Structure 1
Amino acid sequence: MSETHMEQERKFQNLLMRISKSPLYKEKLAAYDIRNIRLDQIMSLPLTSKEELRNAGSFGHLAVDIKETAQYHESFGTTGEPSAAWFTKEDLETGGKQMGECGVRLTPNDIVLIRFPYAMSLPAFLMQHASRQAGSTTVPASSRTTVTPYPRVLELIKRLGVTVMAGLPREMELLAETARLLGLDIKSDFPHFRAICAAGELLSEPRRKHIERLWGVPVYNLYGSTETSNIATMCDQGVLHVLEQDFIIEVLNEDGSVPAAQGDRGFAVLTTLTHQASPLLRYFNEDIITIEPCQCICGHSGGSLVHFGRLKERMRFGALVLDSSDIQFAVYTLSPVPDAWKVIEQEDGLHFILDSHRSSEWTKKDVTAHLSKQLGVPVTVEFADDGVLLNRAELVQNAPSKKPVYIQKLQPSVKTASIDLLRDLLDQGRRKMADRDFHAARTLFEKAVALDANSADAHAWLAAAYGRLIEAGIILEKMRLLPFLENEIKAALRIDSKLPFARRINGARLLNTPDTLGGDPAAAAKEFQYCIEQGMDEADLWVSLGECYIKLENPQKAKYALKEALAREPKHEQAKELLEQLDGGH
Structure 2
Amino acid sequence: MSGINRERERKFRKLLVRIAKSPLYTEKLKNFDTASIGLDQILTLPLTTKEDLRKAGAFGHLAVGINEVAQYHESFGTTGEPSASWFTIEDMELGGKQMSACGVRLAPEDLVLIRFPYAMSLPAFLMQQAARQTGAGVVPASGRTPVTPYPRVLELMKRLGVTVIAGLPREMELLAETARLLGLDPAKDFPALRAICVAGELMSERRREHIGRLWNVPVFNMYGSTETGNIAAMCEHGVMHIVEQDFVVEVLKEQGLEHAAPGAKGFAAVTTLSHQASPLLRYFNEDVVAVEPCKCSCGRTGSKLVHFGRRRDRIEFGDAVLDARDIQDAVYSLAPVPDAWKVIEGRNGLHFILDSHRGADWTEEALRAQLTGLLSVPVTVEIAAGNALLDRDDLVRNAPSKKPVYIQKLDAAVPEAPTAMSDLLDRGRRLLAARKFQESRELFEKAVALYPHSADSHAWLSAAYGRLIETGIMLEKMNLLPLLEKEIATALEIDPNHPFARRMNGARLLNTPEVLGGDPAAAADDFRYCLDQGMDEADIWVSLGECYMKLDDPHEAVRALQEALVREPGHERANELMQQVTGLQ
TM-score by length of 2: 0.70
* Equivalent-residue separation in structure 2 for 1:254 and 1:166 (angstroms): 34
Structure 2 equivalent of residue 353 of structure 1: 353
Amino acid across the alignment from 2:349: G
For residues 139 and 88 of structure 1, the distance between their equivalents in structure 2, rounded to whole angstroms, comes to: 24
Tell me the matched-pair count.
416
After TM superposition, what 4+ stretches of structure 1 lie above 6 angstroms from structure 2?
A: none
What is the rounded CA distance, in whole Å, between the counterparts of 1:322 and 1:412 in structure 2? 19
Q: Greater Rg, structure 1 or structure 2?
A: 2
Aligned to 1:508: none
C-alpha distance in structure 2 between counterparts of 1:204 and 1:310, whole Å: 13
Distance 1:50 1:393, change over 3 A: same
Q: Structure 1, residues 50-90: CA drift from partner, whole Å, max 9, x if none?
A: 10010000000000001000000001011111100000000
SS in 2 for 1:197: strand
Amino acid at match of 1:259: H
* 1:80 alignment partner in structure 2: 80
Contact 2:115 2:167 in 1 (8 A): yes
Query: 1:286-305 maps to which residues of 2 (within 5 A)?
Result: 286-305=286-305
Instruction: Indicate if the aligned counterparts of 2:187 and 2:214 stay in contact, CA closer than 8 A.
Output: no
Cα distance between partner residues in 1 of 2:410 and 2:254: 21
Match in the other structure for 1:326: 326
2:5: which partner in 1? 5
1:380 aligns with 2:380: yes
2:222 aligned partner, one-letter code: L
Give 1:397's aligned residue.
397
8 Å CA contact 2:347–2:411 kept in 1: the answer is no
Task: Report the equivalent of 2:65.
Answer: 65
Which residue of structure 1 aligns with residue 148 of structure 2?
Answer: 148
Which amino acid is the alignment partner of residue 197 of structure 2? C
Q: Deviations over 1:394-416 (max 9, x none)?
A: 11111111111111101336x99
1:321 deviates by 1.0
CA distance, structure 2, for counterparts of residue 243 and residue 370 of structure 1? 38
Corresponding residue of 2:211: 211
Alpha-carbon distance in structure 1 between the residues aligned to 2:130 and 2:139: 13
Structure 1 segments unaligned to the other structure (5+ residues)? 418-586
Whole-angstrom distance in 2 between the partners of 1:88 and 1:394? 39
Residue 115 of structure 1 contacts residue 171 of structure 1 at CA under 8 Å; is this kept in 2? yes
Any conservation in 1 of the 2:286–2:310 contact (CA below 8 Å)? yes
SS of alignment partner, residue 186 of structure 1: coil
CA distance in 2, matches of 1:397, 1:81: 32
Residue 231 of structure 2 is matched in structure 1 by 231
**8 Å contact kept, 2:43–2:257:** no
Q: Which residue of 1 aligns with 2:502?
A: none
Distance (Å, rounded) in 2 between the aligned partners of 1:247 and 1:408: 31
C-alpha contact (below 8 Å) 1:164/1:194 kept by paired residues: yes
User: Aligned AA for 1:220?
Assistant: F
Say whether residues 1:41 and 2:22 are aligned partners. no
Residue 186 of structure 1: how far off its partner (Å): 2.4
TM-score, normalised with respect to structure 1: 0.70
- 1:162-198: CA deviation from partner (whole Å, max 9, x where unpaired): 0000000000000000000101122442111000000
- Inter-partner Cα distance in structure 2 for 1:189 and 1:155: 11
Structure 2: which amino acid aligns with 1:158?
A: K
The 1-side partners of 2:378 and 2:40 are apart by 45
| 2:17 equivalent to 1:17 | yes
Partners of 2:70 and 2:276 lie apart in 1 by 11
- Equivalent runs, 1:439-450 vs 2, <5 Å: none
CA separation in 1, counterparts of 2:176 and 2:85? 33
CA distance in 1: counterparts of 2:115 and 2:283, whole angstroms: 28
CA distance in 2, matches of 1:263, 1:50: 25
Q: Deviations over 1:209-257 (max 9, x none)?
A: 0000000000000000000000000000000000001000100012211
Question: How far, CA to CA, are the matches of 1:9 and 1:135 in structure 2?
Answer: 33
Give the conservation status (yes or no) of the 8 Å contact 1:386–1:392.
Answer: no
The residue type equivalent to 1:401 in the other structure is S
TM-superposed deviation, 1:261: 2.0
Q: Partners of 2:18 and 2:93 in 1: how far apart? A: 19
User: What is the identity, as a one-letter code, of the residue corresponding to 1:106?
Assistant: L
Corresponding residue for residue 160 of structure 2:
160
Q: Give the 3-state SS of the residue equivalent to 1:159 in structure 2.
A: helix
Please give the residue correspondences for 1:173-212 in structure 2 after superposition, counting only pairs within 5 Å.
173-212=173-212
| 1:114-141 Cα distance to aligned partner (Å, 9 max, x none) | 0000000000000000001010000000
Aligned equivalents of 1:407, 1:180: Cα separation in 2: 26
Is residue 2:272 matched to residue 1:269?
no
Does residue 122 (structure 1) correspond to residue 117 (structure 2)? The answer is: no
C-alpha separation in 2, matches of 1:187 and 1:321: 36
Which amino acid in 2 is paired with 1:311? R
Structure 1 residue 386: Cα displacement: 2.1
User: CA–CA distance in 1 between the matches of 2:184 and 2:50?
Assistant: 44
- The letter for the 2-side match of 1:223 is Y
**1:254 and 2:267 are equivalent in the alignment:** no
Report how far residue 41 of structure 1 moved.
Answer: 0.8
Tell me the amino acid that sits aligned with residue 253 of structure 1. K
Structure 1 residues 416 and 183, CA gap change in structure 2 (3 angstroms):
closer
Q: Which amino acid aligns with 1:191?
A: P
Matched, 1:101 2:97: no
| Residue number in structure 2 paired with 1:430 | none
Q: Are the structure 2 counterparts of residues 416 and 3 from structure 1 closer, same or farther at C-alpha, using a change threshold of 3 Å? A: closer
Distance 1:317 1:257 in 2: 26
Alpha-carbon separation, structure 1, partners of 2:104 and 2:138: 15
CA distance in 2: counterparts of 1:260 and 1:268, whole angstroms: 10
Q: Distance in 2 between matches of 1:416 and 1:341?
A: 21
Q: Percent identity?
A: 69
Amino acid at match of 1:141: A
State the one-letter code of the partner of 1:8: R
DSSP 3-state at the match of 1:295 = coil
Cα separation, 2, equivalents of 1:188 and 1:5: 46
Is the aligned partner of 1:282 residue 2:276? Answer: no
In the alignment, the residues of structure 1 paired with residue 205 and residue 62 of structure 2 have an alpha-carbon distance, to the nearest angstrom, of 36
Q: Call closer, same or farther: CA 1:67–1:22 in 2, change over 3 Å.
A: same
Deviation per residue, 1:537-564 (Å, 9 max, x gap) = xxxxxxxxxxxxxxxxxxxxxxxxxxxx
The separation in 1 between residues aligned to 2:56 and 2:187, in whole angstroms, is 50
Q: What is the distance in 2 between the residues matched to 1:204 and 1:268? A: 17
Report if aligned partners of 2:262, 2:293 keep a CA contact under 8 Å in 1.
no
1:180-579 pair list within 5 angstroms? 180-412=180-412
- For 1:254 and 1:119, the matched residues in 2 are separated by 35
3-state SS, counterpart of residue 294 of structure 2: strand
